[in-house]
Structure 1
Amino acid sequence: MTETFDLAVIGSGPGGYRAAVLGALRGLDVAIIEGGDWGGCCLNRGCVPKKDWYHTARLVAAQRHFSGRGIQGSLHASMDRAWVHQEAVVDTVRRSYLDYMKHLKIAAIEGTARFIDAGTLEIAGRHADPRRISARHTIIATGATPFIPAPFETVEGKVLTSDMLFDTPPPDGKRVAVIGSGVVATEFAFIFSMLGKDVIWLSRSVALRRIPFSPQAMGALRTAFEEHGIDHRTGVHFESVDTSGDGVVLNLGGGEQVEADWICLGTGRIPNTEGLDPGAAGVRLDEEGFVKRNAYLQTDADNIYAIGDVAGPWMTANHALSDATIAVDNIITGNTRTQDPLQVPVVVYSAVEMARLGMDEDMAEDRELEPAVGFAAFETSPCALGQDDTAGFVRLVADMDTGALLGGEVIGGDAGELIHLLSLAPDRDTALNWIAKGVFNHPARAEEILNATETLAIKWGLGDTVFGKF
């Protein structure tokens, strides 16, 4: 007999897991289907293990200031030992995920799902015969897979994607080439260097070119890389890759060669719909392979929604999590919420931590708005001074006519934690007023968000809007 659920979620990454949990908490009978490792890429090969390594990297980097603080000695990290540590963390989180889903009575089904029609899924189990389930609503959360550009091909122990890096312990060898200019390459160039590798960072384009960080933010990143002796070579043409010897030889054209013990590709990801057969459910893909959806995250099939990497180019766990919340809300309330991907935080964990959301000045002007900027640097923050970590700043962009918060960025220590303060207000129009009336701990880095808000209000004549009329 075919089982029937209120909601079927395909994929157990951050978006899929949150959709299943939130659906169950709100009273839906939920099934979640996973064809690989529970937790998806983020838990097993992405955010969680990478953040574990990043914490180690920051500890090593902080030793520059040890002597001034009266701390003697030096730190040396082992990538092999760091790999074992993240594996233990991932295993703990995975078991917690599964226990919580069991507690919520979510049906966790192992296997690969494909659509029979808009209301029916067939699941090919790894250890059982195929089964079918019926679902009143389905959320597609199948994520993405690494993009491997020519002339690269994966070779075990020599040419690795970031996914492969976390599947098995890292290869032997100290000299590592990091390829790419996106978030993953920008993070790994720093992390690998702090974990004891000699990093060669090569890419065709400049770092983070698709993320609208301000020139000031990119300048802070370059300065931080220079302080750690990490060089990024851009404009590189990759002609061929030779893996026949003990290591890897990159041929860059004109007779130039770069040798490394192994390569890590941070060259982006592509949406994963392999075996899903979305067409059988009336779900269409766009020309880049993403699942097409409307502002409510709904596909061409009214009862099917798509979230996260499989449906949008942002490719962050934060977007997947936000999408999941909106999709479940819309399933329950009948499409009452839309998604604005710009308002979801983007965070880069590298030589300097970087976080942003919303519009920059160029975007604001393109929408015929008048941008006003508020700024506060960490160089005078009592908290940052006490941590010997004064690089960075808070930078806010508001509409000069209305005082609405259009966007902002936090560059420096704990940026990934602080950026949430810009997303919690009920709406953009009252966000600055919400910050200005907040009560902040002292001394704390968060105070610089308050300082930037107050500076913006006075500088641009927005006192009544930000502070309220007296």
Structure 2
Amino acid sequence: MSGYDYDLFVIGGGSGGVRAARLSGARGLRVALAEEYRLGGTCVIRGCVPKKLFTYAASYAQDFVDAKAFGWRSRDVKFDWPTLLAAKNKEITRLEELYRHNVEASGVKIFHEKAQLLDRHTVQMAGGKVLRARLILIAAGAKPFVPDFPGADLCLTSNDIFNLEVLPQSVLIAGGGYIAVEFASILHDLGVEVTLVYRGGQILRGFDGDLRHLLEEEIQARGIKIIHQAVITHVKPAGGKGEGFVAELSDGSLYQAGQILLALGRLPNTAGLRLEKAGIQPAANGAVPVNRFMQTQIDNIYAVGDVTGGVELTPVAIHEAMCFVKTAFEGEPSAPDYHFIPTAVFADPEIGTVGLTEEEAAQQLPFVKVYRTRFRPLRNSVSGAPGKIFMKLLVDGESGIVVGAHILGGEAGETVQLLAIAVKGRVTKNIFDATMALHPSAAEELVTMYQPSYCYRHGRKQV
């Protein structure tokens, strides 16, 4: 590789970048990785991992209430925010060190500074060092979208919420996607008064209609207030010190809260990369355009993960990285398969979903059978908790193949991960019907829904 310092230079140390660098380095290639912050990216440092830890913490609130019905007696239980932060920081540090060890053990050189492109083969580090590589992989991730309104700089984003020194008494959350809904549930269960303000008519756009309706119904019943058809237009500090902030909404109403959190989606993190220097023309939102093999219009430059503006999920970035390695270094052109990606929303109650929504199935298939059930789980029957579990299977009426599975309730994500195997494998409904139920369990309902609740023929619902 005369004239090149490295066979591969990776920009970004998140899930996709780390996986690509580690696999490539393990092949004996000369690989370097530049990360200006901490290894692990959004998922490990300020996303999936700390969010799940906070979700665990929040779940104990209901556990302590339910325990009394099962004979447990204890003194008053109090939540301590600093203890949770310390535990979260300890775990993230452990994971970051593990990431670093695995990358370095693969022979990868790590640069802890920002890198930008000078041309299709050349990168310049923030400290001035210039390096050349045969291939370049852009895996710079994404950043929270912050709209342009007066006082936006006073608001928190999902990057900030994990490091608040003091848990506010109240919070106003802008957004209706999974990030907004998850933080609403977490903060509410930790004792914070929560209000969601969302521009649409129903939260979780793009999810199955039943899941959207039932989750919104459940979280409102638990005490989370939702304001529809409105956005924040102005934020200013409240009157006295420590009184928080006042947000003005597009409908003219005013809301005061201890903190205001913007959870309005994310944008590809390409600012400062100087893509144009390498001949790459980014999309309007800053995304790096790629073909199905994760290759940009410059044939030696690839991109994976959120920076491409595709499906913003950690497993997707990792899968894309593995496909990149096969394509670039193993002579096996590999395109990621985005069909039937399981997804969870770690709200309270939790959502797990895979495959087509009911709305999509009705539009795409000539004949659809819908199997659905909603019931109170045994635990709630004893504890008196009001929550119910909802399950739905969508079946292609002509082939019998299960094309969608949706669950609302405890451990929905864990259950749907296993259901995703069946959906991905094109298992038919008669296999579900022939499977013995595991009793007593909530999941047994998935194999005992023998008759459809209703059907669709050419998009028309038939009861």
* Normalised-by-shorter TM-score class: 0.7 to 0.9
The offset of 1:134, in angstroms, is 0.9
1:185 matched to 2:180: yes
Q: Mean Cα displacement is larger for which, 366-375 or 425-434?
A: 425-434
Residue 88 (structure 1) aligns with: 90
2:138 aligns to what? 140
For structure 1, which segment, 387-396 or 270-279, has the greater mean C-alpha deviation from structure 2 after superposition?
A: 387-396
Q: What CA deviation, in whole Å up to 9, does each residue of 1:333-354 have, x standing for no partner?
A: 5464333435222221111111
TM-score of the two chains, using structure 1 as the length reference:
0.84
Q: CA deviation at 1:391?
A: 2.6
In the alignment, is the contact (CA less than 8 A) between 1:181 and 1:206 conserved in 2?
A: no
Q: Deviations over 1:343-369 (max 9, x none)?
A: 222221111111222222332343344
Is contact 1:79–1:196 with CA below 8 Å preserved after alignment? no
Structure 2 partner of 1:213: 208
Unaligned runs of 5+ in 2: 456-463
- SS of residue matched to 2:206: coil
2:290 aligned with 1:293: yes
Secondary structure of 2:160's match? Answer: helix
Contact 1:378 1:384 in 2 (8 A): no
Counterpart check, 1:306 vs 2:303:
yes
Question: Is contact 2:234–2:249 with CA below 8 Å preserved after alignment?
Answer: yes
Cα pair 1:121 1:133 within 8 Å, conserved = yes
What is the Cα deviation at residue 312 of structure 1? 2.1
Stretches of structure 1 lacking an aligned partner (at least 5 in a row): 461-470
Deviations 1:356-410 (Å, cap 9, x if unpaired)? 2222233234334432334455646x68879988732332223222233322222
Deviations 1:40-90 (A, max 9, x none): 122111111111101011111223322211122453323333222211221
Question: Structure 1 pair 253/369, CA: closer, same or farther in 2 (3 Å)?
Answer: closer
Task: Specify whether residues 270 and 62 from structure 1 end up closer, same or farther in structure 2 by C-alpha distance, changes over 3 A only.
Answer: same
**TM-score, normalised by the number of residues in structure 2:** 0.85
- In structure 1, the partner of 2:63 is 62
Q: In structure 2, how many angstroms separate the alpha carbons of the residues matched to 1:433 and 1:29?
A: 52
Report SS of the residue matched to 1:66: helix
Q: 1:408 to 1:426 in 2, by over 3 A?
A: closer
The residue matched to 2:52 in structure 1 has which SS?
A: helix
Change (3 A) 1:108 1:442: farther
Find the partner of 2:280 among 272, 280, 283. 283
CA distance in 2, matches of 1:27, 1:403: 48
Task: From 335, 339, 355, give the equivalent of 1:338.
Answer: 335
1:438 and 1:114 map into 2 onto residues whose CA distance is 55
Please name the residue that 1:465 is paired with.
Answer: none
- Aligned counterpart, 1:114: 116
Q: What amino acid maps onto 2:181 in structure 1?
A: T
CA contact (8 A) 1:76 1:196 kept: no
User: For 2:108 and 2:435, how far apart are their aligned partners in 1?
Assistant: 38
- Picking from 221, 228, 239, the partner of 1:234 is 228
Q: How does 1:394-405 map to 2 (within 5 A)?
A: 394-405=391-402
Aligned positions of 1:2-81 closer than 5 A: 4-25=5-26, 28-73=29-74, 74-81=76-83
Shift of 1:315: 2.5
The equivalent of 2:459 in structure 1 is none
- Letter of the 1:286 partner, please give it: A
1:409 alignment partner in structure 2: 406
Cα distance in 2, alignment partners of residues 8 and 440 from structure 1: 51
Q: After TM superposition, give the deviation of residue 263 of structure 1 in Å.
A: 1.2
* Correspondence list, 1:368-407, <5 A: 368-375=365-372, 377=374, 379=376, 391-407=388-404
What residue in structure 2 maps to residue 466 of structure 1?
none
Q: Does 1:165 align with 2:130?
A: no
**Local SS of the residue matching 1:396:** strand
- C-alpha contact 1:152 1:240 (8 A) present in aligned 2: yes
Deviation (angstroms), 1:280: 2.9
Which residue does the alignment assign to 2:360? 363
For 1:102, give the aligned amino acid. E
Q: CA 1:176–1:132 in structure 2 vs 1: closer, same or farther (change >3 Å)? A: same
The aligned residue for residue 149 of structure 2 is 151
Q: Among residues 292, 299, 321, which one is paired with 2:318 in the alignment?
A: 321
Letter in 2 for 1:395: K
Which of 340-349 and 269-278 deviates more? 340-349
Rounded to whole Å, the distance in 1 between the matches of 2:436 and 2:106 is 36
Stretch of structure 1 that moved more, 240-249 or 186-195: 240-249
Instruction: Using the TM superposition, give the Cα deviation of residue 431 of structure 1 relative to its aligned residue in structure 2, in angstroms.
Output: 7.0
Look up the SS of the partner of 1:145 in the other structure. strand
Are 1:259 and 2:256 counterparts? yes
Shift in Å at residue 255 of structure 1?
5.8
Contact kept in structure 2, 1:180 and 1:266, CA below 8 Å: yes
Q: Which residue identity is paired with 2:180? A: A
Moved more, 298-307 or 350-359: 298-307
Contact 1:296 1:335 in 2 (8 A): no
Whether the aligned pair in 1 keeps the contact of 2:152 and 2:235 (CA below 8 Å) is: no
Cα distance in 2 for residues equivalent to 1:445 and 1:326:
37
Q: What are the superposed Cα offsets for residues 130-157 of structure 1, whole Å, 9 maximum, x if unpaired?
A: 131313x3322111111111325444xx
TM-align CA RMSD: 3.3
The one-letter code matched in structure 2 to 1:130 is K
Alpha-carbon distance in 2 for matches of 1:434, 1:101: 43
Q: How many residues align?
A: 449
**Correspondence 1:104 to 2:106:** yes
* Aligned residue identity for 2:355: G
